[in-house]
Chains A and B, each alone.
Chain A
Amino acid sequence: MFAEGTEAVHESAGWFLEHAWLIPVIPAVAFFLIIFFGKRMPRGGSEFGIASMLGALVLAAGTAFQWIDRVNSAGHGGEEGEHALGLVSGMGRAVAAASEEAPPHVDAVSKVWSWFSVGNLDVSIGSYIDGLAVTLLLLVAFISTLVQIYSTEYVRGDRRYTHFFASLTLFSAGMLTMVLAPNMVQFILGWEIMGLCSFMLIGHWWEELPNAKAALKAFFTVRVGDMGLLVGTGALLMLFGTLEIGEINNLAANFENGDKGMLMFAAIALFIACIGKSGQFPLHTWLPDAMAGPTPVSSLLHSSTMVVAGVFLVARLYPVFHVGLDINMLGQDVNLIAVIGGITVLIAAGLAFVQDDIKKVLAYSTVSQLGYMMMGLGVGAWTGAVFHIFTHAFFKCALFLCAGSIAHTGSHHSFDMKKDMGGLWRKMPVTFVVWIVSTAALMGIPFIGSGFFSKDEIIDSAKYNDYKIFWIVGIIGAGLTAAYMTRATYLTFFGKARGGAAHFVHGDAHHDDEAHDEGHAVAFAQEHADLDHEIDSHAHAAHDAHGHDDHHAPVHHGKPLPFAPTDSAWQITVPLIILGVLAVIAGYLNAPALGIHWFEHMTHSSIGAGSAMVVPPPPKFTWAAAAPGLLLIAVGIGLSFFLSKAVFGDAKSPFKGLTQRVAPLRWGHKFLVNKYYLDHLYENVIVRFVAYPLSKAAYWVNQHVLDGTVNQVGLAGKRTGQFVYKYIDQGLVDGVVNGSGTTARGAGGQLQPVQSGKVGMYGTLLFGAAAVAALILVLVNS
């Protein structure tokens, strides 16, 4: 494969690069197979989904290898001898020499067919492969594969098992289509497919009202932003006359004298779409609610892949935003993207502190990290932001899958950290280790987690590119991240086992409580027998099959009792372990601290530079620059651990219930619990003051203008009748045609019922008025 690729690099780009369009086609075909034949398959269609994702993954890996090869051969200016070693040397090389000179520009490999043409505009469909696209392709295919494997166990026995896999597969097809898009139309196509799948998957258990509501909320909130995508694309078309992403980037990067206002407008409109999709500040409220979906969905769509679509759009069309919003311009301390990103980092991190639901903590953490990515793009740290997409996907996906694993076999399908978790670290060792490693990555602890390398580069660039405010935001955010993750970790894995996590006597420590626990468990089973989701019974059955019967399992009401917290089946643990490993090592692809700039080298040409656009190179890493951030992280962890232990731990402590006792803290807590009252603002204020007056105005128009007009016509008729009767009839003709007055009066009276609410009458008036108006027009013009 390598030999073949290197030989033909300059003539043909290589088979995988040329045929990358197959990657989304495979899951798309699989989607239809699942829909039509899934129910008849022994594994309910999941085999199609997993097979297609594996196929896509193989192709994506091939594409990635050939792309690496392409970049390396471009970098060496055609020295054939080094190519074969390109990958190997690139992976581990301390690219000191290569990073000092600017990385070579490598053209994207584009393969397009004409899709349709409207007027002069040819819209194509196909693939556009560059470093950015390859990164996302690999990421989406890889994580989708793992999540689908995980789901076979997690949603086993679900009522809509087949549809679940169909939606997951269609989602992957949509995301891959978007990532590959050579033009905005294909981009929008993929973007909308993802939105649809997100809606279907959040509402997967729509029988419960909150889930259906969350699905609708997600769909409509994102739709608000999607309008921006359409408007922005239209603006780009007007400005550049093309929808091809490569051309748009080129034209925008070299944008020197043109309608700058229009470019800014396009950038802002597109950014609104990103705000909606990536859960940025004013529209972030849908993302935590989206956790109503099954955990694999939260893991795949709402943390690692779909929600980065907005960030991806900014990265993809970076010249449009960079030039349009004056990023990195002299004297520009702030810009829209950085501001929104920065606000999102802080407010979401603040919200993560008051969540009891482990998935909500992770959701706000996702929002916060997406804020980092946006902020990174806003301060010119393109590589850092894109690399953060890459690393974040692994560790956040791992964290969510851990949460799912805990709920699946640890806490009896509860995500409530305060009620149903605690002390799980001994019982779920695999989950615990993966969680700790991923948490370290999320916090940005050097060398243990990949998050350090990407997040630090963003923070560092903010300082280096003269965005002091965002540097401060960045390090404070890092401290907050460390703190809320410590809290969540403490609540979940340490302390005393509570609720769902404590139902079984497990080990010697609780031996004395056995009788009590058993009684509790029976009560629990009764209480939950009717509430539990259908999935429960299957999960229980699965657990019996997995050999947990050796813990005493008295049968009550013919239903197995809740099981002891334990690690899940291999379908769950294997993806966890893989992701955990990647959460550690993925960061070493671009570790400025070690002088590794490999990822930057591979993706650099996607930034799209031109004469009007100079993106500053990432700053040189120094430990001194990283120190404040690291210090805050350490403080965050320490403080949070101390407080968590004091507040949630066993020992009596003056900190317990502090938020209830001290008024300012209570207010702050309430403010956070109510999500800064944003939902309140949207639902009770905006909707009331926008939608309600609108309907009221419409009603008023109907009552006063429409009916009033009709009424006035009637009245006028009546008055005419009276006038005729009074003056002409009585005054002039005086009694000769006495009847005519009465007739006229009658006509007036007759016209009043015109305001009847009867459709037929309204129609007659409408057409009559139209005919009269036409007549008048004709007479005037002739």
Chain B
Amino acid sequence: MLVNQFLILGAVLFCIGVYGVLARKNAVMVLMSIELILNSVNINLLAFDLMNGGLEGSVFALYIIGIAAAEVGVGLAMVLLIYRNKKSIALDELSEMKG
């Protein structure tokens, strides 16, 4: 097998994730797309791990899984708060960032 099989699969998933982040309006959907991106990174890490015969990639893949859990927790809490305040989780309605 080729390293590139895994890496290109990771790249494809990454780009799908990026598209999702850009195209989606619903905040929950954006969070899901971010999960796709994080997973593609994990695939890369483990592929490099096997390529180099180390274990560090696995360690950091585990850390990423942990971080992803934290991120989803906080992200969804924020989404809930936004929903409670605005009765909507459509990101394009959140234009407070406009200067």
Contact = CB atoms under 8 A, between A and B. Distances in A.
Interface of A: 699, 702-703, 707, 756-760, 762-764, 767
Nearest to B90: A760
Interface stretch (B44-52, B56-64, B70-78, B91-99): B91-99
Contact of A763 (B21, B95, B98, B99): B21
A759 B97 contact: yes
B22 interface: yes
A696 to B, nearest CB: 13
B99 A759 contact: no
A760 B91 contact: yes
Contacts of B94: 759
Contact of A756 (B22, B24, B95, B96): B95
B22 A759 contact: no
Contact of B22 (A699, A702, A703, A764): A764
A764 B92 CA distance: 13
B86 interface: no
Top 3 closest pairs, chain A to chain B, by CB: A757-B98, A757-B95, A764-B22
Contact of B98 (A756, A764, A767): A756
Dominant secondary structure at the B interface: helix
B18 A759 contact: no
Interface in B4-36: 18, 21-25
Interface size class of B (residues with CB under 8 A): 10 to 19
A386 B46 CA distance: 56
Interface of B: 18, 21-25, 91-92, 94-99
A675 B66 CA distance: 49
A703 B99 CA distance: 6
Given A760-B22, A760-B91, 15 more contacts: A702-B99, A703-B99, A756-B98, A757-B95, A757-B98, A758-B91, A759-B97, A760-B23, A760-B24, A760-B25, A760-B92, A762-B97, A763-B21, A767-B21, A767-B22
B99 A757 contact: yes
A653 B85 CA distance: 65
Nearest to A758: B92
29 contacts: A702-B99, A707-B99, A756-B98, A757-B95, A757-B96, A757-B97, A757-B98, A757-B99, A758-B91, A758-B92, A758-B95, A758-B97, A758-B98, A759-B91, A759-B92, A759-B94, A759-B97, A760-B22, A760-B23, A760-B25, A760-B91, A760-B92, A762-B97, A763-B21, A763-B22, A764-B22, A767-B18, A767-B21, A767-B22
B32 to A, nearest CB: 15
Contacts of B25: 760
A717 to B, nearest CB: 20
A294 to B, nearest CB: 35
**Of residues A703, A760, A763, which shows the largest number of chain B Cβ atoms within 10 Å of its Cβ?**
A760
Nearest to A770: B18
Contacts of B98: 756-758
Nearest to A764: B22
Contacts of B23: 760
A702 B21 CA distance: 22
A702 B91 CA distance: 20
A759 B78 CA distance: 15
A764 B19 CA distance: 9
Contacts of A707: 99
A771 to B, nearest CB: 9
A699 B97 CA distance: 11
Nearest to B25: A760
